[in-house]
Structure 1
Amino acid sequence: MANAASGMAVSDECKLKFLELKAKRNFRFIVFKIDERIQQVMVDKLGQPDESYDDFTASLPADECRYAVFDFDFVTDENCQKSKIFFIAWSPDAARVRSKMLYASSKDRFKRELDGIQVELQATDPSEMSIDIVKGRAL
């Protein structure tokens, strides 16, 4: 279960909640965090379907790394309603170096556990994941 490179396991809850977001749209977003004591990725916060992108960005700590998925709804130029699931690797400049390294080394394996991610973003400050950037990547 654990990854040889980073020794990181992924809790079943992470996969189950992601499936609910993807299939049932029970959540707008999920924020995940690494519990360093038990070397496992856990669910940190679940965003309700009526929460906005601003609610999501506000739930990311300013000084700690997180992984997150966001179900982004948008309308195409052809006026089609669509949605894309974004994976966001949040690694703020103020986070501890060890934490940044741990999140960076575990990211690819964790992402593989979540089948159905369509777009990936890396952000070190909120401007790198502004709604305009998300819209631009979605189209």
Structure 2
Amino acid sequence: MNKHIASSFRTPSSFVTFRFARLQNSLNAQATFLLRSKADLSLVEWRLIQSLRMFENASMTELSGHVQMDKGQLSRKISAMVKKGLLRVEKDKHDQRVQHLHLTEKAQRLSDQMMPTMEARQTLLLADVPEDDLATFYRVLEKIEEASKIRDIE
């Protein structure tokens, strides 16, 4: 490791993980406010609805892998969303242990209702970021994500 980089880790804000956590908390608070106030949705519900829009008829296992959520936690959230009328669950015709998830009309309507707000939010977040900086940022994120998978660290 570069000695300059290693010696610069003096304050919490100099750690990339601290900065990511702080940013994530701020972004989550903003999104949660928008979703709760305009559609009575939680951030997790929004993410699951958007994931199921992309992967219609996904199984719980497939969805768990996509959203990187613990299967137990996901199962509890799915049950709550079924009770709230956002999802319906259908057992697989060939394997009764597999459950396929489907958005209800209510979930589709809420997603359509919130999409302009969430797109406006994305525009706001990126308004002052030049395209080449954003491309660099995404490349850096990919490298940090790959490095985060390494477990043998001395």
TM-score past 0.5 threshold: no
Higher helix share: 2
Larger Rg: 2
The TM-score by the shorter chain falls in which range? under 0.3
TM-score calculated relative to the size of structure 1: 0.26
TM-score calculated relative to the size of structure 2: 0.24
Higher strand share: 1
